[in-house]
Amino acid sequence: MSAVLPPGVSLLHVDGAPPEIRRILVARLPGRPTPAFTAVTRAIGSAALEP
């Protein structure tokens, strides 16, 4: 994250802070998912597993 901080903004480590939890929700209309929808949800799932 430090590589994208604008000048003048500092990144601080906070001891004892709870771990960060991120959630991504995807919604679609009922019916068979399109190939594009399937590709996007797979990409999101793969990215979520990266450290």
Which tens digits make up the pLDDT trace of 12-39? Answer: 888 988 887 878 888 889 999 999 999 9
Two tokens at 44? 């999101």
| Half-sphere exposure (Cβ direction) of 19: Cα atoms closer than 13 Å | 2
pTM over 0.85: no
CA dihedral angle for residue 39, residue 43, residue 45, residue 48, rounded to 10 degrees: -170
Q: How far is CA 32 from CA 18, 19, 24, in A?
A: 39, 36, 21
On the question of pLDDT at 44 being above 70, the answer is yes
